[in-house]
Chain A
Amino acid sequence: MATAKKILIIDDDPDIVEAMKMPLESHGYEVVSASSGQEGLSTLVKESPDLIILDVMMESTTEGFQVAYAIRSDAPGSAYAKFRKIPILMVTAINQVMKTKFSKETDAEYLPVTEFIEKPIQPADLLNKVASLLVKA
């Protein structure tokens, strides 16, 4: 078997991390996690994952976005240049709270993430999306 794909989960809710980690690990993925944006970025550099699962609302309502922008930044000398093209799966419950609907079609230009998944996490949905993002990448 080829080396397991590595997934980085950045989420401040340990129960949500667990709910994603469990099915992913049972399907042979290697999972690392971080509980804040800053920790997530340093783990990214250290672990070089194949995919990031990013929570939209961490401590501030914009932390998730800031992490995504930092990774996608094309500023010269960006510390994350290596990961600019990494698939990002954004976890959110926000589109049910706010009127704005986040989706690939409407926000691709503004939100540099590849795919969205909603809370509560449905394991089958999560596994499907992760698999298809990794195939494309």
Chain B
Amino acid sequence: MGQTQTARGTVNPSDAELIAGVRWFISLRWAAGAGVLIVPIIGRAVFRIDVALALFFCVAAAIFLCNAIFLFVYARLERRPERRLAACTRFAHAQICVDWIALTLLVHLSGGVESPILPFFLFHVIIAALLLSRTACFAHAALASALAAAVAWGEAVGLVPHLSYPAIVPETAYDHMPYVIIKLSFLSAALFGSAFLATSIAARLRERDAELIRLKDDLERSYHNLENVDRAKTEFTYKVTHELRAPLGAVQSLLGLILEGYVADPAKMREYVVRVQARVQALLQLVTDLLDLARGKMSVSDEHLSCIDLPALVERIRELYRQKLQAGRIAFVFEKPRERVSVEMRLSDCERILTNLIDNAVKYTDQGGTVAVDVAMRGGDVSVSVADTGIGIPKGDIDKVFSEFFRADNARKRVAGGSGLGLSIVKQLVSRYNGVLSVQSELNKGTHITIVFPKGYTI
């Protein structure tokens, strides 16, 4: 329910507020009914006022009867949560109107314009402010003013008899019409003034409530996010443990064979040592990757930013891959841009990003294929792209290639020792510089990865 608080909720009462208010209103009415019973008795007994007790009792009985009906209606409303707000609003209007009639009758019975209970009209204006909208509250203030005026007018012109109580007011007020008009005007002013004040206060309280609910929702959301982050971390730890354990298990199993004398043939022995060597090498790479990934995630680094000449860096990496490119007869296409293309980054981050992308491209491209690197300024943004004519990524896996430890089936078949962290590291590092990473790929056709570092990015 709290989540559905909208702008409306800050101006008008909410469902929960209204239903609680209506319940409270019904409880108050029992006390009001009791007052209608007791006060005339006290008036008669103590002050010797000649009140028509029977008529007051009739009004009290009517109040009790109506309140019992209200209680019944309330119980039904409470059980029916759908469309309750509208129903409760109508219900509150009905209750206030019934009260107006009872109050008008009581005012008439206790002396019309001279009645000591005339100011009680204010109570319902305040109740209306709490339960209903500002407009409805002003409408009720107008209705109350009209009812008070109607009683005074009816009694003044003799439409209904004027019940006077000389013990309270010695002479009848209707002989002094200016007094009647002034009294009614001030009553009306008090009613509208109360309506204004009470609705303003109620609105301010509601705004504060809504603000609290917003805060609570925000807190809950943050808490759930943290929970998810925690779960992801646990999952990551689990995967890391498995990835570290698998090669260790293999190494230990192979060494066990040698130690326990199952390998007599020197050639076989050598084969096993080579296998162990390869697993240890992969393990070392995994640990390096894990460190890089952690470095990408941590926001602190002791390395300073420097202005990196991207074409020069690409050339340097190309040199490192010269042998592999020749062995695989892979063409490396790189056209040095005419303009200067540079980024403000930590050198090791930039090296890692480009090396990982170029390494993947070379690794997953068949003999005779092409790896094309392009760096360019695009309207102030720096764009870096690496395209290959390699094995590509299966369609359903494109979204997953940046996930930690994910390796597509075709990549796994082609290169056994990969850690599945290379692109995760790239993603981490790129996002650290507010870069945008996009990948296009078609199975058996090739992959094209583009990174755009926005103009004037900040870290």
For the complex, is B43 an interface residue (Cβ under 8 Å from A)? Answer: no
Per-residue B-contact encoding for A116-132, CB less than 8 Å = 1, 0 else: 00011111100000000
- Interface SS, A side: helix
Determine if B241 and A119 form an interchain contact, defined as CB atoms under 8 angstroms apart: no
- Interface SS, B side: helix
| C-alpha spacing A98/B175, complex, angstroms | 96
| C-alpha spacing A20/B245, complex, angstroms | 17
Determine if B256 and A123 form an interchain contact, defined as CB atoms under 8 angstroms apart: yes
Determine if A18 and B254 form an interchain contact, defined as CB atoms under 8 angstroms apart: yes
Chain A CB within 10 Å, residue with most, of B245, B253, B279, B416: B253
| C-alpha spacing A123/B242, complex, angstroms | 22
Determine if A16 and B250 form an interchain contact, defined as CB atoms under 8 angstroms apart: yes
Residues of A within 8 A of B238 (CB): 97
Chain B CB within 10 Å, residue with most, of A14, A19, A93, A119: A19
Determine if A19 and B246 form an interchain contact, defined as CB atoms under 8 angstroms apart: no
Question: How far in angstroms is the closest Cβ of chain A from B423?
Answer: 18
| C-alpha spacing A123/B241, complex, angstroms | 24
Q: A18-B275, A23-B262 are in contact. Are A93 and B249 (CB under 8 A)?
A: yes
Q: A26-B262, A123-B262 are in contact. Are A19 and B254 (CB under 8 A)?
A: yes
For the complex, is B263 an interface residue (Cβ under 8 Å from A)? Answer: yes
Question: How far in angstroms is the closest Cβ of chain B from A56?
Answer: 11
Residues of B within 8 A of A18 (CB): 254, 272, 275
Residues of A within 8 A of B241 (CB): 97
In this complex, what residue of B is CB-closest to A124? Answer: B260
In this complex, what residue of B is CB-closest to A19? Answer: B253
Per-residue A-contact encoding for B254-268, CB less than 8 Å = 1, 0 else: 101100101100000
Give the residue of B242, B249, B262 whose beta carbon is less than 8 angstroms from that of A120. B249
For the complex, is B185 an interface residue (Cβ under 8 Å from A)? Answer: no
| C-alpha spacing A119/B253, complex, angstroms | 7
Per-residue A-contact encoding for B391-421, CB less than 8 Å = 1, 0 else: 0000000000000000000001000100000
In this complex, what residue of B is CB-closest to A23? Answer: B262
For the complex, is B252 an interface residue (Cβ under 8 Å from A)? Answer: yes
Residues of A in contact, count (CB < 8 Å)? 20
Determine if A22 and B257 form an interchain contact, defined as CB atoms under 8 angstroms apart: yes
Question: How far in angstroms is the closest Cβ of chain A from B279?
Answer: 6
Determine if A97 and B253 form an interchain contact, defined as CB atoms under 8 angstroms apart: no
Determine if B253 and A15 form an interchain contact, defined as CB atoms under 8 angstroms apart: yes
Determine if B253 and A121 form an interchain contact, defined as CB atoms under 8 angstroms apart: yes
Per-residue B-contact encoding for A83-122, CB less than 8 Å = 1, 0 else: 0000000000100010000000000000000000001111
Residues of A within 8 A of B257 (CB): 19, 22-23, 123
Residues of B within 8 A of A74 (CB): none
Determine if B250 and A19 form an interchain contact, defined as CB atoms under 8 angstroms apart: yes
Chain A CB within 10 Å, residue with most, of B238, B254, B260: B254
| C-alpha spacing A123/B258, complex, angstroms | 10
Residues of B within 8 A of A20 (CB): 253
| C-alpha spacing A97/B239, complex, angstroms | 10
For the complex, is A57 an interface residue (Cβ under 8 Å from B)? Answer: yes
In this complex, what residue of A is CB-closest to B262? Answer: A23
For the complex, is A39 an interface residue (Cβ under 8 Å from B)? Answer: no
| C-alpha spacing A124/B259, complex, angstroms | 12
Determine if B263 and A22 form an interchain contact, defined as CB atoms under 8 angstroms apart: yes
* Contact residues, A18-50 vs B (CB, 8 A): 18-20, 22-23, 26
Determine if A93 and B245 form an interchain contact, defined as CB atoms under 8 angstroms apart: yes
Per-residue A-contact encoding for B286-315, CB less than 8 Å = 1, 0 else: 000000000000000000000000000000
Q: A97-B238, A97-B242, A97-B245 are in contact. Are A16 and B253 (CB under 8 A)?
A: yes
Determine if B262 and A22 form an interchain contact, defined as CB atoms under 8 angstroms apart: yes
Determine if A15 and B279 form an interchain contact, defined as CB atoms under 8 angstroms apart: yes
Question: How far in angstroms is the closest Cβ of chain B from A24?
Answer: 10
Question: How far in angstroms is the closest Cβ of chain B from A2?
Answer: 23
In this complex, what residue of A is CB-closest to B254? Answer: A19
Residues of A within 8 A of B248 (CB): 120
Residues of B within 8 A of A57 (CB): 242
In this complex, what residue of A is CB-closest to B260? Answer: A123
With A16-B250, A23-B262, A120-B250 given, can you name 17 additional A-B contacts, CB distance below 8 Å? A13-B249, A15-B275, A16-B253, A19-B254, A22-B262, A22-B263, A26-B262, A57-B242, A93-B245, A119-B245, A119-B249, A119-B252, A120-B249, A120-B252, A122-B256, A123-B256, A123-B260
The 10 listed contacts between A and B (C-beta, < 8 Å) are A13-B250, A15-B250, A15-B253, A16-B253, A22-B257, A23-B262, A93-B246, A119-B249, A120-B251, A121-B249
> A: which residues have CB within 8 A of B?
13-16, 18-20, 22-23, 26, 57, 59, 93, 97, 119-124
- Top 8 nearest A-B pairs by Cβ distance? A120-B252, A19-B253, A119-B249, A15-B250, A121-B253, A120-B253, A120-B249, A23-B262
